[in-house]
Structure formats: C-alpha cells, structure tokens
Amino acid sequence: MTTKELSQVAGVSERTIRRIAENEVGVVYEKGKKAIYTEKEAIEIMRLARKKGFIQPRQNADVVTRSDLASFGTAIVSEVIKQLMPMILASSGHPATLAIESKQTPKLAPRDELRMIVNKAAKESGDYSGTWKTLYTEIYYRLHINATERAKNAKTTAIDILDSENLLEDAILIAKEIF
C-alpha cells in the first residue's frame, strides 16, 4: 500500500503516516521514489495510526480501503445466507417453507374472532349496525339474554356483556351459522 492509501484508510494525514513509518516502524525513504509498504509494515502503521473506532488490522489480512467498504455490505449478507441456508433447509421438508420450532401461530381471542366474522358479513352487506343488531337479536332468542339492554343499563358495550357472561364462544357459533 502507498502512503496516500494508508492515510485515507486510517483517516490521518500522509505526513502522519510517513512520520509513524519512519519513527516507529523503521521505514527508510528514498528520495524521489514512491513509498510502497509491505503487508507487515502497512498493518503495523495502521495499528499505530488508527483513530478510535477504526478496525484493528490483523496479520496476513488485507488492509481495507474505502472502495472495499461499499462491497462489504453485500458480502456480509451473502455470507450469512450461505451459513444459514443449510439450517433452514434441514429444518423444513420444503425449501420454500421456514419451520418455526415448537411455536404455533397465535390463536385469535374469542372477542376478535367474533368481531372479524361480523365485520366481514357487514362489509358484504354494507350495513354494519344492522349486522350487529341481527347478531344480538339471534343471541336474544337463542341464549335468552338481551345484551344490548344490559349494556345500556351497565353503561358498557354488548360485547363486554357477552364476555362477562362467558357467552362469546356461543356468540361465535351463532355468528358463523347466520353469516
């Protein structure tokens, strides 16, 4: 590497690189000749010249230039994929599916399931309040509970009344049947 390349990578001036090379590493400069450092010299100069936060160069490793930094992102990602791909393929029978070990998809809460069924039916009919009213009417006739009146008296919602009476599961079955 040259003095200019080392100074760019280390983030210090060329003069600082030359001073470190002469005083600390023992490099002798010839007048009029371009200084090209060996791998060991470059690594030692980088070690001595590096600023806080710079990567420590290692023996028998290339000193990184700024042009190399752009390709590191894709190289790291491709290396991670190479290492993870055998584990992914081994954990599932089909390469396109990723198996999640001992974890199942979360189940909907009964309240959310009921809302989802009724809202889907309401979207198809275009009458949201009418759809909920139909459900609560069916619940009144089948379960003998007037959830809307109880909700009005308790200053809460009808679905809260069904939840407090543990009737959400029955309401879901009714909603699946009528919608």
Instruction: Kindly report whether the global pTM for this prediction surpasses the value 0.85.
Output: no
**Tell me: the pLDDT tens digits for 119-177?**
999 999 999 999 999 999 999 999 999 999 999 999 999 999 999 999 999 999 999 99
Both 55 and 117 in a single domain?
no
- Token reading at 118: 């009724």
**Listed residues 47, 69, 91: the one ending a domain:** 69
**Listed residues 69, 99, 128: the one ending a domain:** 69
Residue 23: inside a domain, yes or no? yes
Q: Look up the domain containing 132 and give its range.
A: 110-178
Nearest residue to 16 (alpha-carbon basis) of 38, 46, 41: 46
Query: What is the rounded distance in angstroms from the CA atom of residue 106 to the CA atom of residue 122?
Result: 25
**Tell me: the pLDDT tens digits for 5-33?**
877 877 788 888 888 888 888 887 778 78
Say how many CA atoms lie within 13 Å of 38 toward its Cβ.
8
**Listed residues 51, 69, 87: the one ending a domain:** 69
Both 65 and 116 in a single domain?
no
Residue 90: inside a domain, yes or no? no
Nearest residue to 116 (alpha-carbon basis) of 135, 143, 140: 135
What is the domain count for the chain? 2
Both 174 and 115 in a single domain?
yes
Triad 39, 62, 11: Cα angle to 5°: 90
165 burial (CB, 10 Å; 0-12 / 13-18 / 19+) is: middle
